[in-house]
Copies of this chain bind each other. A is one copy, B any other.
Amino acid sequence: MNEHEMLFSHIRRFTTLSADKEELLSTRLKYKKIGRKDYLLQEFQICNAYYFVLSGCLRYYRNTNNGFEQILQFGIQGWWLSDFHSFENQKPSEYNIQAVHDTEILILYRSDYEELFDSVPELNSYFRLMMQRAYSASLKKIELLLCESAEERYLRFTRSFPEFVQTVPQYMLASFLGFTPQFLSMLRGKKDIIHTNNIK
Contact = CB atoms under 8 A, between A and B. Distances in A.
B132 A138 contact: no
Nearest to A68: B147
A90 interface: no
Contact of A178 (B117, B121, B146): B146
B70 A129 contact: no
A157 interface: no
A155 interface: no
A192 interface: no
A119 interface: no
A143 B73 contact: no
Interface residues of A, number: 32
Nearest to A66: B147
Interface in A60-118: 62, 64, 68, 70, 72-73, 84-85, 88, 117
Contact of A143 (B70, B127, B133): B70
A139 interface: yes
A184 to B, nearest CB: 14
A24 interface: no
A33 interface: no
A142 B145 contact: yes
A145 B145 CA distance: 8
